[in-house]
Structure 1
Amino acid sequence: MQTNFSTEQILANLNIDALNAMQEASMETNAGNNDVVLLSATGSGKTLAFLLPILQRLDFSRKHQTQALIIAPSRELALQIEKVFKQMGTGLKITCCYGGHLRETEENNLQQPPAVITGTPGRLADHIRRGNIQTDTIETLVLDEFDKSVELGFQEEMSFVIGSLPAINKRILTSATPAVEIPAFIGLQNETVLDFLPDQPVSERLALKKVLSPDKDKIDTLFRLICALGNRPTIVFCNHRESVERVSELLAEKGIPNEFYHGAMEQRDRDSALCKFRNGTAFLLITTDLAARGLDIPFIRYIIHYHLPATKDIFTHRNGRTARMEASGTAILLLSGEEKIPAYIEEDVEEMMLPDTVELPEKTKWTTLFIAAGKKDKVNKIDIVGFLSQKGQLKKEDIGLIEVKDFFSFAAIRKSKASTTLHLVQQHKIKNKKVKIEVAK
């Protein structure tokens, strides 16, 4: 096989000094022809652990044929895989396919087959049925977070997609959950299991605490808890979409800005919420278990279980958003008088006492601009920084995280500069195009 990359150069492109033990084991084991099941904790680097073996198997001389398919349970995880692959700088094309935006955009990207395709089961099945994906050249199949993908509701689509791949000779499955039954339709053959899950049920870097609410409706206790924690990056998990929006609205009424996030939202709104949480415009994200997997949000300090997770697996994945790699974090169970610690939590849980009086957390210093231009308009981060610096008269320290999507972008800027900057840039063009710019909703 011909390749056109080096692992050293890829790691340099990703600003990584060296592979960790799990990634090295995955590289070594996947060098053989056997199928591999990789079990490793959330945040341990599984994406790179399967992307590098994929690259080892790709024939660069056939780069205009699709050779690998990566199936992910959520659009956010699929987009994260695409982002890492592009950052690796191999020169190979990847296309991401997921619901919630125009299928025609993906169809255009698939006209010249990419070397790698990643996506969600439903959208991938749709493209295969329409003949948009060249399936007979795909030899490598990856199921990322396979336990979630094969849950009820995904089975039929997963079975169809995998059954449409006649040339598969290599399967890589990843999960952060042990002892999940693997359906026969996946077709594993003489698989090797790499188990890098920690022995202890909760990471030593993760503190587990509980807060008792005197009321069945725990919103007042949640408010006091957030005030006590301050403006550290925090995720609040609820079990239902309706609860997410109710909690978000009630906290906002009490003076705590926040973003909410769930599966029924439009893709642009989901992107906006996550971007504002990542860039510091909001320190608080209210969400369903959709955010428990696959989201790349570093430095989350607190996880609050407003509703108790139904299973140990959900509990583990929620908590996996914090205490990632070498960082520490705290998971907090919020309990009403009639709620008990779930039986699957075996360790002692320390009670956290809230102060009698609380003050609202300090307001964030950032706001987020929505810019109606993105990658498809040939706009990149450098263009946006230059535009905001020159036309918006912002200094380097006034510009925060910038995220460029296909058709729009988000840019964090100092809140104190927002009004002046918006006024200054309104009459100017980006890449010779008049573009709508406003504070992101």
Structure 2
Amino acid sequence: MKIQDILQRLNIESLNKMQYQAGDVMVNTDSDLVILSATGSGKTLAYLLPLAGMINPESDELQAVVIVPGRELALQSHDVFTRMGCGLRSMALYGGRAAMDEHRNLRKIKPQIVFATPGRLNDHLDKGNIVADDVSYLVIDEFDKCLKMGFRDEMSAVISKLPYVERHVLLSATDAEEIPGFVNMGKVVRIDFLTDSQIPDRINLFVAKSKDKDKLDALYSLLCSFGESSTIVFLNYRDSVERVSGFLRDKGFVVSAFHGGLDQKAREDAVYRFSNGSASVLVGTDLAARGLDIPEVDNIVHYHLPQGEDEYIHRVGRTGRWQAKGRAFFLLGPEETLPEYIKDTPEEYELPTDVETPPQPRMVTLYIGKGKKDKISKGDVLGFLCKVGGLKGGEIGRIDVKERCAYAAVSRDKWKSVVARTAGEKLKGIKTVVELIK
């Protein structure tokens, strides 16, 4: 397994200092490891790279378990591991779908590593769907959030069912509370890359002020000033997300809405449209602050002030990921002031008085009704869109193939002709549905 080949597949030039240190501890010592580093600094890759080299590729048994607090992080971590292309098998296990379907896939795929939420992992262990005899490595990602979300008892139960774990790795983006005793860690090496300034120097902070208590018009002006750059707008409540996203759509923005009240497909659609450039604005609750596979976000806007320091750190961590630069904006009403936990001093940002019509994203997202279960690959989708849909390579963006469907970003001015051309046509010999995700 060549690290440089994996980095090339992930479009990463080199590892950062935190990742080098994590790999050194995991590969060259027998110690357990705690990694504290900011959101967006690459903690997932920090443990996955060395862990991939520690798993025996000749064995079909499950050897590593990664506990995560939610479905989004399970899917993101599984996706990163798959894109590493190291020849190992993995699965994401989480609630909200039939455990029986997961069980069938477990028997079929025989994963050597799983990324799982505590409740669903307990369920599979209790039913004997997962045999823990060969599980030697346990990772708890965002262990601070797992504890805050009330998973203490479930995690304790999981760990009691993994009796042969030899190495533990815990990760957090905040200076979390003391590690609970039930984790059963031995000698621990602690890698701490958290700083007093809360956020990296490459992220610039700004305050924009609204003259009115209702900040919608100010938000509109602020977003218009960003041009075509990508933005996540954070709010604290689901109904507020619906209100703000509806307002922005009426004003001409292409928006993705994201909160816990949406069903799984609606949430996945929202993330894909934003991450592949089909929507320029994602409006969401703090659920969008962690675990989403969105590599490049130019701006963060706090429409509602973060409810605490941890929420603030994770929100801002959605921009300026890895070595990229980013901006974060506090949109303050007449009676609002910055919370005391904000240690850095933001610059004043003057809202424009004359705003232009919001620019439209270059891409749209198409839903294709066939996926991995139909033995469909990215190459199959690409060929279908070119040969049948009449597109050229430069008119196609990101393609994602899921278990039962696929998503493809295509040029905005071409999607109608693609849908018309592919109506009733076959993808790899199977009739499929192609439609716009709105």
2:312 is equivalent to residue 336 of structure 1: no
Task: Indicate the larger mover: 63-72 or 353-362.
Answer: 353-362
Q: Is the 8 A contact 2:197 2:343 kept in 1?
A: no
C-alpha contact 1:370 1:409 (8 A) present in aligned 2: yes
When residues 13 and 253 of structure 1 are mapped into structure 2, their CA distance, relative to the original with a 3 A threshold, is: closer
CA contact (8 A) 1:100 1:266 kept: no
Give the C-alpha shift of residue 307 in structure 1: 0.6
C-alpha separation in 2, matches of 1:231 and 1:56: 41
For residues 175 and 11 of structure 1, what CA distance do their matches in structure 2 show? 23
Q: Tell me the CA shift for residue 365 of structure 1.
A: 2.4
Deviations 1:160-212 (A, max 9, x none): 11121111111001111124332222222221101122453232111111111
Other-structure match for 1:39:
36
Q: CA deviation at 1:387?
A: 0.5
Quote the offset at 1:88 in angstroms.
2.3
Counterpart-to-counterpart distance in 1, 2:124 and 2:222: 46
Residue 71 of structure 1 and its aligned partner are, at CA, apart by 0.8
Partner of 1:151: 148
- Counterpart of 2:78 in structure 1: which amino acid? E
Aligned residues of 2:252 and 2:358 also touching (Cα < 8 A): no
Match of 1:303 in 2: 300
The range that moved more, 123-132 or 335-344, is 123-132
What's the counterpart of residue 17 of structure 2? Answer: 21
65-74 vs 350-359, greater mean Cα deviation:
350-359
SS for the counterpart of 1:296 is coil
Q: 1:192 to 1:411 in 2, by over 3 A?
A: same
**Residue 369 of structure 1: SS of its match in structure 2?**
strand
- Pair 1:114-2:124 in alignment: no
Deviation at 1:260, TM superposition (A): 0.5
Q: Which of 357, 362, 367 is matched with 2:359 structurally?
A: 362
TM-score relative to the length of structure 2: 0.95
Q: How many equivalent pairs are there?
A: 436
Match of 1:226 in 2: 223
Alpha carbon RMSD of aligned pairs, Å?
Answer: 1.7
Task: Give the secondary structure class of the aligned counterpart of 1:324.
Answer: coil
Post-superposition shift, 1:377? 1.1
Does structure 1 residue 104 correspond to structure 2 residue 100? Answer: yes
Alpha-carbon distance in 1 for matches of 2:254, 2:49: 40
SS at match of 2:133: helix
Within a 5 Å distance, the mapping from 1:55-66 to structure 2 comes to 55-61=52-58, 63-66=59-62
Aligned match of 2:409 = 412
CA 1:131–1:358 in 2, change beyond 3 Å: closer, same or farther? same
Conserved 8 A contact 2:367-2:435: yes
Give yes or no for the alignment of 1:255 onto 2:225.
no
Match of 1:212 in 2: 209
- Looking at structure 2, the residues matched to 414 and 17 of structure 1 have their Cα atoms a distance apart, in angstroms, of 28
Tell me by how many angstroms 1:128 deviates. 1.7
Residue identity over aligned pairs, in percent, reads: 45
Structure 2 counterpart of 1:87, from 83, 86, 103: 83
Paired residue for 2:199? 202
For the pair 1:397 / 2:394, whether they are aligned, the reply is yes
Asked whether the equivalents of residues 38 and 175 of structure 1 are also in contact (C-alpha less than 8 Å), the reply is yes
Give the structure 1 partner of residue 311 of structure 2. 314
Distance 1:435 1:301, change over 3 A: same
- State the alpha-carbon separation in 1 of the partners of residues 353 and 414 from structure 2: 36
Amino acid at match of 1:176: A
1:379 corresponds in structure 2 to 376
Q: Distance in 2 between matches of 1:146 and 1:435?
A: 41
For structure 1, the 5+ residue unaligned runs are none
Give me the whole-angstrom Cα distance separating, in 2, the residues matched to 1:437 and 1:195.
47
Deviates more, 1:101-110 or 1:362-371: 101-110
Separation in structure 2 between the aligned mates of residue 264 and residue 98 of structure 1, nearest angstrom: 17
Distance 1:55 1:364, change over 3 A: closer
Match of 1:140 in 2: 137
List per-residue Cα deviations over 1:62-119 (Å, max 9, x = no partner): x211111001112121112111222222322111101233323311121253211111
**CA positional deviation for 1:237:** 0.4
Q: Distance in 1 between matches of 2:54 and 2:43?
A: 17
Distance 2:226 2:57 in 1: 51
Aligned to 1:280: 277
Q: Could you say what secondary structure the match of 1:136 adopts?
A: coil
Aligned equivalents of 1:212, 1:236: Cα separation in 2: 15
C-alpha separation in 2, matches of 1:295 and 1:44: 14
Secondary structure of 1:128's aligned partner: helix
2:155 partner amino acid: M
TM-score (norm 1): 0.95
